[in-house]
Structure 1
Amino acid sequence: MMNKYLKTIVGAGMVSGMSLFGGNAMAASEFYKGNTVKIYVGAGAGGGYGFFGRAFGKFYGKYIPGKPNVIVINKPGAGGTKMTNWAYNVAPKDGSVVGMPLMTVATNQHLRAKKIKYDATKLNWIGNMERSISLLFTWHTSKTKTIEDARKRVTQMGGSGKSSPIYQNIILANRLLGTKFNVVLGYKGADRALAIEKGEVEGSFSTLQNFRAMTPHWFKDGRNPLNILIQNANERTKELPNVPTTIELAKTDADKEVFRYMMLQSLTGRSVFAPPGVPSKRVNALRRAFDKTMKDKGFIALIERANLKLTTNTGEEVTKAVNKLISTPPEVVKRIKKLIK
Structure 2
Amino acid sequence: MKKTILRSAALLAAGLLTVTGCSANAKSGGTADGNYPSKDVRLIVPWAAGGSGDLTARTIAPLLEKDLGVNVIVENKPGANGSVAYNWLAEQEPDGYNLAMMGVEVATLQFMDYDIKPENYAPIGQGLAGPGAIAVPVDSPFKTLEDLIAAAKAKPGDLTFSSPGIGSVWDSPAAGLQQLADIKLTSVPFDGSAPAIAAAAAGKVDFSIDAIGSQKIQVDGGHLRYLAMLTDERDPDNPDVPTAKEAGVDLQNASWVGVMAPKGTPEDTVKKLSDAMEKATGDAGYQQVITSSNLVPTFKDSTEMAAFIQDEAKRYGPWIEYAKNNTK
SS at match of 1:291: helix
Which of 242, 247, 263 lines up with 1:276 in the alignment? Answer: 263
Q: 1:176 to 1:309 in 2, by over 3 A?
A: closer
**Residue 5 (structure 1) aligns with:** none
Which of 281, 302, 311 lines up with 2:297 in the alignment? Answer: 311
SS at match of 2:227: strand
**Residue 13 (structure 1) aligns with:** none
SS at match of 2:36: helix
> Partners in 2 of 1:239 and 1:292 — Cα distance?
27
Unpaired runs of at least 5, structure 1: 1-15, 251-255
Across the aligned residues of Structure 1 and Structure 2, the Cα RMSD in angstroms comes to 3.6
SS at match of 1:132: strand
Note if 1:70 corresponds to 2:57: no
**Residue 198 (structure 1) aligns with:** 202
The alpha-carbon deviation at position 48 of structure 1 amounts to: 3.0
Percent identity between the two aligned chains: 22
Which of 202, 221, 225 lines up with 1:227 in the alignment? Answer: 225
The alpha-carbon deviation at position 21 of structure 1 amounts to: 9.9
Aligned partners of 1:139 and 1:225 also within 8 Å = yes
Q: Name whichever structure is richer in strand by fraction.
A: 2
The alpha-carbon deviation at position 122 of structure 1 amounts to: 4.9
- 92-101 vs 169-178, greater mean Cα deviation: 169-178
**Residue 95 (structure 2) aligns with:** 94
> Partners in 2 of 1:184 and 1:276 — Cα distance?
33
SS at match of 1:85: helix
Equivalences for residues 182-331 of structure 1 within 5 A: 182-184=186-188, 190-212=194-216, 216=217, 218-219=219-220, 226-239=224-237, 242-245=241-244, 249-250=248-249, 263=253, 266=254, 269-303=256-290, 307-315=293-301, 316-326=303-313
> Partners in 2 of 1:188 and 1:42 — Cα distance?
8
Aligned partners of 2:78 and 2:191 also within 8 Å = no
The alpha-carbon deviation at position 79 of structure 1 amounts to: 0.8
- 122-131 vs 231-240, greater mean Cα deviation: 231-240
Q: Taking structure 1 as the reference length, what is the TM-score of the superposition?
A: 0.72
SS at match of 2:75: strand
Note if 1:137 corresponds to 2:145: no
Q: 1:71 to 1:78 in 2, by over 3 A?
A: same
**Residue 83 (structure 1) aligns with:** 85
Q: 1:188 to 1:119 in 2, by over 3 A?
A: closer
Unpaired runs of at least 5, structure 2: 1-21, 153-158
**Residue 23 (structure 1) aligns with:** 31
> Partners in 2 of 1:54 and 1:39 — Cα distance?
9
Aligned partners of 1:159 and 1:188 also within 8 Å = yes
Q: How many residues align?
A: 295
Aligned partners of 2:172 and 2:316 also within 8 Å = no
SS at match of 1:129: strand
> Partners in 1 of 2:185 and 2:210 — Cα distance?
15
What is the letter of the counterpart of residue 282 of structure 1?
A: T
**Residue 253 (structure 1) aligns with:** none
Aligned partners of 1:166 and 1:205 also within 8 Å = yes
Q: Taking structure 2 as the reference length, what is the TM-score of the superposition?
A: 0.74
SS at match of 2:143: coil
> Partners in 2 of 1:317 and 1:236 — Cα distance?
28
